[in-house]
């Protein structure tokens, strides 16, 4: 049986169902990385080529996200970009988060002890938005169990609020799309900031994390505290002393990128764009639906979620048995978590279910 990704991926010696932890690299991406490593070892690469790959990756992500490229900043981790946003909030500002959301998103706000951090169940997050809420931070898809946030309802609730200290009124919405991008594209109308670690469903190496800033970002709303020479409007003229002019685009918020990782991202993003996020999403969801249906037949109760992440509460202990049988899954919050992507097939689903059934 051929997967959607087909020959783009290496044949596996095990059943890999752990994309929610780390996605597999496409062969084209691995080939580009190997060539770049050889070029680096033999002195065949210069810095200009690195910046060209970075620009291509940034543009590729912008197309996948459906936003202008000048709103996209490149970095290394979601936590760093979340911290940048957290630092910009005034003392006493209320930040609303979902219960038990991923730490890399919420902890940068939690360590600001002068902020008012408030939490609500994911399904009631929109209802919890109030007139004192300055910012809402939520994952588009929950890491622990695959539940999908209702971002449209959240946007409507935020827009219904009176002025929260900004010219446009209402709280800013920060969405972590790390568990979404690659199979599900959040609507740009439903968020202000988008954060995305790309080593899962976008199948990049670690070190590729993108930040989408608001289209109406005020001049003093977000400060480029960690800006180095790469954030200059003219990077090669920004190497010494204070930078005379930061980039006019979101590139002003760039971290010094992991160039090899971004070279890889150029190729992985291209594959996702070629196959199409909607097509990938439909494929992934069909595999997850098959898994949930099979789990119910075994008497298990999967978390109801319209995502490729299938969580089986109380089954975490099965992970070691699965691993011994050549099935790679993970355990999160006590759940056995299987995640299906374009390199998986129905046979992978059936293998997981067979091991769970004891056959």
**Residues 46-81: pLDDT tens digits?**
777 799 999 999 999 999 999 999 999 999 999 999
Residue 114 has pLDDT above 90, yes or no: yes
Long-range own/partner contacts, residues 346-352 (CB < 8 A, 24 or more apart) = 346/1, 346/287, 346/290, 347/1, 348/15, 348/16, 348/17, 348/287, 349/287, 349/290, 349/291, 349/294, 350/294, 351/15, 351/325, 351/327, 352/15, 352/17, 352/291, 352/322, 352/327
For the segment 293-308, the average pLDDT, to the nearest whole number, is 98
Domain-wise residue ranges, the chain: 6-25+276-357, 47-273
Residue 168 has pLDDT above 70, yes or no: no
Interatomic CA distance for residues 2 and 295, integer angstroms:
23
Residue 359 has pLDDT above 70, yes or no: no
Interatomic CA distance for residues 158 and 150, integer angstroms:
13
For the segment 211-225, the average pLDDT, to the nearest whole number, is 96
DSSP state at residue 345? -
- Per the structure block, which two tokens stand in for 228? 């180095």
- Residue-level pLDDT at 122: 98
- Residue-level pLDDT at 164: 47
State the virtual CA torsion across 318, 324, 325, 329 in degrees, nearest 10. Answer: 50
Q: Taking the model in full, what pTM does it have?
A: 0.97
**pLDDT tens digit sequence for 243-298:** 999 999 999 999 999 999 999 999 999 999 999 999 999 999 999 999 999 999 99
Residue 41 has pLDDT above 50, yes or no: yes
pLDDT category of residue 187 using cuts at 50, 70 and 90: very high
CATH no., domain 6-25+276-357? 3.90.1150.10
* Distance from chain centroid for Cα 250: 18
- Per the structure block, which two tokens stand in for 145? 């169990």
In terms of Cβ atoms closer than 10 Å to its own Cβ (0-12, 13-18, 19+), residue 11 is exposed
In degrees rounded to 5, what are phi and psi of residue 355?
A: -65, -40
Q: What angle do CA 333, 336, 337 make, to 5 degrees?
A: 90
Q: What angle do CA 159, 160, 165 make, to 5 degrees?
A: 65
Nearest partner of 62 among 50, 53, 72, 51, judged by Cα: 72
- Residue-level pLDDT at 163: 66
Q: Say which residues have a Cβ less than 8 Å from residue 30's Cβ, sequence separation at least 6.
A: 10
- Residue-level pLDDT at 162: 82
Q: Give the residue carrying structure tokens 């685009």.
A: 249
Q: Which CATH number fits domain 47-273: 3.10.150.10, 3.40.640.10, 3.40.120.10, 3.40.50.20?
A: 3.40.640.10
Residue 165 has pLDDT above 60, yes or no: no
Characterise 299 by phi-psi region: left (phi > 0), alpha (psi -120 to 50), beta (else): left
* Average model confidence (pLDDT) across the chain: 96
Interatomic CA distance for residues 24 and 200, integer angstroms:
8
Q: Say which residues have a Cβ less than 8 Å from residue 327's Cβ, sequence separation at least 6.
A: 14, 15, 17, 351, 352, 355
* Distance from chain centroid for Cα 25: 16
Q: Say which residues have a Cβ less than 8 Å from residue 359's Cβ, sequence separation at least 6.
A: none
């Amino acid at each position: 049986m051929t997967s959607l990704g087909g020959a783009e991926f290496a044949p596996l010696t095990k059943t890999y169902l752990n994309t929610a932890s780390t996605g597999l690299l496409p062969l084209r991406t691995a080939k580009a990385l190997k060539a770049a490593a050889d070029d680096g070892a033999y002195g065949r690469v210069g810095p200009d080529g690195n910046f060209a790959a970075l620009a291509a990756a940034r543009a590729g992500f912008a197309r996948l996200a459906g936003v202008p490229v000048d709103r996209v900043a490149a970095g290394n981790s979601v936590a760093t970009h979340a911290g940048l946003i957290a630092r910009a909030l005034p003392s006493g500002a209320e930040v609303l988060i979902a219960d038990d959301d991923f730490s890399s998103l919420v902890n940068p706000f939690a360590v600001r002890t002068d902020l008012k951090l408030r939490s609500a169940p994911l399904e009631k997050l929109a209802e919890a938005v109030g007139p004192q809420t300055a910012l809402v931070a939520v994952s588009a898809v929950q890491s622990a169990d695959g539940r999908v946030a209702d971002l449209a309802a959240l946007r409507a609730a935020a827009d219904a609020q009176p002025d929260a200290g900004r010219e446009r009124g209402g709280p800013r919405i920060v969405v972590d799309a790390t568990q979404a991008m690659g199979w599900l594209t959040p609507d740009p109308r439903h968020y202000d900031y988008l954060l995305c670690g790309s080593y899962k469903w976008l199948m990049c190496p670690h070190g590729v994390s993108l930040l989408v800033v608001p289209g109406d970002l005020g001049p003093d709303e977000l400060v480029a505290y960690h800006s180095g020479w790469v954030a200059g409007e003219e990077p090669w003229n920004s190497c010494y002393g204070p930078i005379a002019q930061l980039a006019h685009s979101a590139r002003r918020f760039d971290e010094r990128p992991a160039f090899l990782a971004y070279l890889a991202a150029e190729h992985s993003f291209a594959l996702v764009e070629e196959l199409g996020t909607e097509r990938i999403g439909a494929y992934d969801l069909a595999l997850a639906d098959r898994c949930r249906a099979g789990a119910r037949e075994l008497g298990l109760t999967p978390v109801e979620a319209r995502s490729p992440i299938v969580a089986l509460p109380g089954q975490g202990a099965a992970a070691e048995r699965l691993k011994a049988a050549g099935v790679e899954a993970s355990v999160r919050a006590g759940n056995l978590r299987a995640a299906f992507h374009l390199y998986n097939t129905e046979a992978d689903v059936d293998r997981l279910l067979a091991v769970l059934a004891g056959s």
